[in-house]
Amino acid sequence: MSTHPELHVALFGGTFDPVHHTHRAIIDAVLETGLVDLVLVVPAKDPWQKSDVVASAGDRLEMCRLALGAHADVEISDIEIRRDGPTYTIDTVQELLIEHPEWKLSLVLGADSVANFHTWHQADELSRLVEIMGIARPGHELHPGAPLPHPLRINRVEMPESTLSATEIRAELNAGRVPAGLNPAVLHYIHQHSLYVGD
């Protein structure tokens, strides 16, 4: 029997290219449910379902640290960046549970990811190991896609729809404009390292 009290950790993965205010709003909404003790932000190195990553893994990790690292209820992890090969969530979850057997893990997912969960690598095993913190707009349902042998255990997290888009932020930066929605330290880092210019 573990001598450690159970810690409910929400794993918030993504490219964070760049990290912006909506990411922080999602973290706040998850924590405000009272179901989660800690949000673990996990920038992806080589996400298998996204091919349009622009900034390097190291730059995206540092921007997450600048934007979110000062919060006591948030940790930034390089677990996927350190791993060789493609990034699969199941590998991250299994590694974290070996390192931290006292953790209860949830995944922070938007409605599209909930609907497409059945297409993920080893989706059935993943659904057995984690719960879902499903981000939903008020009045909108979360619809899992094809059924799995272990049905998704979904905790609904409501938050208003955001108009911020990382794609639009990158376009604004590339055009030499200052976009809304960026932490000042992140904006300084982007300018200092000439990111998102000449795309």
Task: Express each pLDDT in 127-171 by its tens digit.
Answer: 999 999 999 988 888 988 888 999 999 999 999 888 889 999 999
Q: Kindly state the tokens that stand for 27.
A: 């973290």
Helical segments of 56-165, H only: 57-68, 79-82, 89-99, 111-115, 123-129
Mean pLDDT, to the nearest integer, of 117-133?
Answer: 96
Nearest to 196 by CA among 181, 176, 129: 176
pLDDT 10s digits, 80-103: 999 887 779 999 999 999 999 999
Question: In CATH, which of 3.30.420.40, 3.40.50.620, 3.30.540.10, 3.40.50.10320 is domain 7-192?
Answer: 3.40.50.620
Percentage of the chain modeled with pLDDT above 90: 78
User: Which residues, in sequence order, are bridge partners of residue 135?
Assistant: 110, 157
Q: Half-sphere exposure of residue 193, counting CA atoms within 13 Å on the CB side?
A: 16
Residue 39 identity (one-letter amino acid) = V
Residue 12 has pLDDT above 50, yes or no: yes
Q: Kindly state the tokens that stand for 180.
A: 């809304």
Specify the pLDDT at position 199: 56
Torsion angles phi and psi, residue 82, rounded to 5: -75, -20
Q: Which band of pLDDT confidence, cut at 50, 70 and 90, is reported for residue 1?
A: very low
Extents of the domains making up the chain: 7-192
